[in-house]
């Protein structure tokens, strides 16, 4: 069985190296036994050393000129040869424990896709814990995967159309629902691993709280317009890292 690990990366020279090293260590440890894997980094039009760092670490590098996370993930998936696809973020780290849970899930033969509970480091203690706790509750309750860790069968990904090109955020939620529906039609489940899959909490220090409040209000009042306009999603697309 082969897993294609796909990492979209836009100006991620600072944290991409540790992410790639974590993937190497996880697959090189006990959890990786019996699993083949490849690592694909999609350089999403970076202006820094992202592509060079990825290539230097042995990853296959593909290029997507349009800054959109869904497009970058789709470009990586188009180059993938694995029976399973695992999408993780460039500012996250894959642990051996989470990989072991993933292996158990996909070798059990009962699931088609899923996600993992998340963790966050370097975030304000109170706000960070609240954000993570709320998301993990939503993830477990509604079976929705975080963008930092979503996996699926390659055939399920292709037959459901991959990540939406209309959305500049929440594309993982949209795909989670479509993958879950695909699975139900075949008697397969969408699962949430206990994880946690840990990501950086850097956005809490890069952006003032008022910007997140404005975004929350925009999502409540005009969700469709907000999720389809990268200018309203500065925390993802303005290049601050």
> What is the C-alpha separation between 188 and 185, in angstroms, rounded?
8
**Residues 160-165, mean pLDDT to the nearest whole number:** 98
For 75-131, what is each residue's pLDDT tens digit?
999 999 999 999 999 999 999 999 999 999 999 999 999 999 999 998 777 888 898
Compute the distance between CA of residue 125 and CA of residue 4 in angstroms, rounded to an integer. Answer: 34
Asked if pLDDT for residue 211 goes beyond 90, the answer is no
pLDDT single digits (tens) 4-16: 999 999 999 999 9
Domains of the chain, first to last: 2-202 (3.90.550.10)
Helical ranges in 32-168 per DSSP H: 50-56, 69-78, 96-107, 125-142, 154-160
Tell how far CA 48 is from the center of its chain. Answer: 21
Helix (H, G, I), strand (E, B) or coil at 197: strand
CB 215 within 8 A of CB 225: no
Q: Is residue 93 within 8 Å of residue 25, measured between CB atoms?
A: no
DSSP helix/strand/coil, 23: helix
Label residue 88 exposed, middle or buried (CB < 10 Å: 0-12, 13-18, 19+): buried
β-strand pairing of 92-93 with 189-200? antiparallel
What is the structure's pLDDT at 59? 98
The residue-averaged pLDDT of 36-42 equals: 98
Mean pLDDT of the chain: 95
Mean pLDDT on 190-196: 97
The predicted structure's pLDDT at residue 126: 82
Residue tagged 């029976």 (tokens): 83
């Amino acid at each position: 069985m082969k897993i294609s690990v796909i990492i979209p990366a836009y100006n991620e020279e600072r944290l991409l190296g540790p992410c790639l090293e974590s993937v190497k260590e996880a697959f090189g440890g006990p959890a990786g036994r019996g699993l083949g894997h490849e690592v694909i980094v999609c350089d999403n039009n970076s202006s820094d050393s992202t592509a060079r760092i990825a290539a230097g670490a042995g990853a296959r590098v593909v290029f997507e000129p349009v800054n959109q996370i869904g497009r970058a993930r789709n470009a990586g998936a188009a180059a993938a040869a694995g029976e399973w696809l695992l999408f993780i973020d460039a500012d996250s780290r894959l642990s051996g424990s989470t990989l072991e849970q993933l292996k158990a899930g996909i070798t059990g033969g009962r699931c088609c896709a899923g996600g993992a509970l998340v963790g966050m480091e370097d975030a304000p203690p109170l706000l960070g814990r609240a954000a993570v706790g709320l998301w993990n509750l939503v993830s477990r309750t509604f079976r929705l995967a975080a963008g930092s860790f979503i996996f699926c069968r390659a055939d399920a990904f292709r037959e459901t159309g991959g990540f939406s090109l209309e959305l500049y955020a929440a594309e993982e939620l949209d795909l989670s629902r479509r993958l879950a529906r695909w699975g139900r039609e075949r008697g397969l489940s969408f699962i949430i691993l206990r994880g946690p899959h840990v990501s950086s909490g850097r956005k809490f220090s890069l952006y003032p709280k008022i910007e997140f409040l404005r975004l929350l209000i925009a999502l409540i009042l005009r969700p469709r317009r907000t999720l389809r306009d990268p200018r309203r999603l500065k925390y993802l697309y303005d290049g601050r890292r």
